[in-house]
């Protein structure tokens, strides 16, 4: 059985990739097995104190049990999402487990990433499969708030990139926009060593305007700030 982990930061496209891979008939891609608040699977989660404590006492054992269960089920390719910052002991183990392929997802447009996080954190709506009024809700944020978030995310991804470069693992870096380009399904299948499947399609919809500056209730200060930084390309359409 092929094993993989999707590694990334919030709002980087990790859930989109998870659902895209999960739509492949030969792949089981679970949710955030190491979310601090719950063990999150597909369509269910266990947020009981006992389940979270049992996992955190033995995170490596939890991962091994996850893969072992999928092997018994006859799954050809299995993996889960692991968000940067979820469990340091598991991250250390991943560095030693070259049998586990790593897909690092990241997002070049940090303004889009930070705004998406702020909106999701406020509404508690982290993903959706249909467009509704929530998609058009404006974000209230100052340049300094955004600056804090995007520098933090850029730093994490930079350090993770350096760490990954030191590993012997089969690995792949995927920037957010690449997942929406023609041929990406074939590319990710080739990486995992599985045949492309015509039914691969994520049900998720974008949760904000594709023109990033349009997401904000007060865009003028943000336009000035990011233009002064030479990052005006973050203000327009991302896809």
How confident is the model over 109-130, as pLDDT tens digits? Answer: 999 999 999 999 888 888 988 8
Residue range 47-87, pLDDT digits in tens: 999 999 999 999 999 999 999 999 999 999 999 999 999 99
Is the model's pLDDT at 42 over the cut of 80? no
Name the domain count of the chain. Answer: 1
Both tokens of 9, joined, read 């930061």
Q: Which helix (H) or strand (E) holds 89?
A: helix 88-96
Residue range 191-223, pLDDT digits in tens: 999 999 988 999 999 888 999 999 999 999 999
| 222 inside domain | yes
| 209 inside domain | yes
At 132, is the pLDDT very low, low, confident or very high (cuts 50, 70, 90)? confident
Handedness of CA 95, 38, 64, 21 (dihedral sign): negative
State whether residue 45 is helix, strand or coil. strand
Residue range of the domain that includes 189: 2-234
Q: Which helix (H) or strand (E) holds 69?
A: helix 59-73
pTM of the model: 0.96
| 74 inside domain | yes
* Rounded Cα distance, 54 and 45, in Å: 14
| 239 inside domain | no
CATH of the domain at 155: 3.40.50
């Amino acid at each position: 059985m092929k094993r993989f982990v999707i590694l990334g930061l919030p709002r980087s496209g990790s859930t989109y990739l998870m659902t895209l891979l999960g739509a492949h008939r030969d792949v089981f891609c679970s949710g955030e097995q190491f979310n601090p608040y719950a063990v999150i699977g597909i369509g269910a989660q266990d947020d009981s104190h006992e389940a979270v404590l049992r996992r955190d006492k033995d995170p490596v054992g939890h991962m091994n049990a996850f893969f072992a269960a999928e092997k018994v089920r006859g799954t050809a390719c299995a993996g889960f999402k692991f968000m940067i910052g979820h469990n340091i002991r598991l991250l250390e183990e991943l560095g030693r487990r070259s049998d586990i392929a790593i897909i690092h997802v990241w997002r070049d447009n940090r303004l889009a990433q930070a705004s998406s996080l702020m909106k999701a954190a406020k509404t508690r709506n982290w993903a959706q499969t249909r467009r509704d009024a929530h998609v058009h809700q404006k974000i209230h944020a100052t340049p300094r708030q955004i600056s804090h978030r995007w520098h933090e995310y850029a730093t994490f991804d930079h350090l993770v990139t350096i760490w990954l470069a030191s590993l012997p693992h089969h690995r792949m870096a995927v920037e957010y926009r690449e997942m929406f380009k023609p041929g990406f399904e074939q590319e990710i299948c080739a990486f995992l060593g599985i045949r492309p499947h015509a039914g691969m399609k994520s049900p998720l919809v974008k949760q904000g305007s594709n023109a990033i500056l349009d997401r904000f209730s007060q865009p003028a200060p943000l336009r000035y700030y990011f233009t002064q930084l030479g990052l005006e390309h973050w203000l327009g359409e991302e896809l």
